[in-house]
Amino acid sequence: MQRLPFFVVNAFTDKQFAGNPASVVLLDKPLASPEVYQGIAAEMPTPETAFLTSLDGKSLSDSANFELRWFLPSVELKMCGHATLAATAILYRRFTNSQATLVFNTLYGSIKAFQELNNQIFGLLLKSAPLVTHHLASDLQKLIDLKHYKQAAYCAERQTLIVEVNTYKDLLAVEPHFKNLLNYKQLDLARVVLTTASESGQIQDFSSRCFCPWISINEDAVSAATHTLLAEYWRYKTYKSSFLAYQASDRGGYLSLDCDTGHQVWVKGKAAIVMEGQYALT
């Protein structure tokens, strides 16, 4: 019997019952098949599971290079930002990793990660992508549950639609018609719809919500990858390059964003380790 240590981490928060939860499973070597990864992911207490393996032949305290894979119970993911932040938090906080920068080898490509403020903040360097202005068709507007909107943008590379609404109150009021969205054919490439708003008098520079029924998640708790696009959107609107963002889901979470060169964004946040144990693999 092989015992695999695992942790559950709430990413982009320092609290219980908040942020986006992910499981992190630690491996000495890769598992036998994708089906084994998926089977373990199905038994974890979170929707997404990250599997972490050192590539240096060193301990988790000393290694700088890792293989990182993300799984749902039914499929391997090409990208999962909050689970990557969770893995970073485990390496630095639980294993006091000595490296200033960690590198994760993934299907998405290489991801750099780091810590700052004595294990209080963890960061990732993630790719963004170009946006183009988009006109929202009236029927799609109704499906998203928008009476009015300021403007919209579309990212073809990420199949993501961004819609800016007038106020934070408007943002919270949105209740998309998920079943009908799934069958909406005029925007064939949609995988994610983001609603966003910026309003004076709040601690955050902008807020957002993330809807993705096309990948079986009606509303994501806190999404790191989509915030790279939101950072691009608000950078062009405000001429700023750094933001504090809040994802206004039921769980909620804060992200610090710093736009880098070449469509890259440093995505930073806190993490709370809320569970740990061992998976008995026979």
Instruction: Please list, in sequence order, all residues whose beta carbon lies within 8 angstroms of the beta carbon of residue 165, skipping any fewer than 6 positions away.
Output: 146, 148, 149, 150, 171, 174, 195, 196, 197
Contact of 215 with 198, CB cutoff 8 Å: no
**In terms of C-beta density within 10 A (0-12 exposed, 13-18 middle, 19 or more buried), how is residue 272 classed?**
buried
Strand 151-155 with 253-260, pairing: unpaired
Contact of 128 with 232, CB cutoff 8 Å: yes
**In terms of C-beta density within 10 A (0-12 exposed, 13-18 middle, 19 or more buried), how is residue 92 classed?**
buried
Cβ count near 218 (within 10 Å): 12
Task: Say whether 175 is catalytic.
Answer: no
Which of these is catalytic: 48, 164, 219, 232? Answer: 48
CA distance 133 to 144: 18
Could you write out the DSSP letters of every residue in 30-71?
--S-HHHHHHHHHHSSSS-EEEEEESSSS-TTT--EEEEEEE
Alpha helices by DSSP H, listed for the chain, are 34-43, 81-89, 138-144, 168-173, 178-182, 224-238
CA distance 245 to 238: 14
Active-site amino acid positions: 48
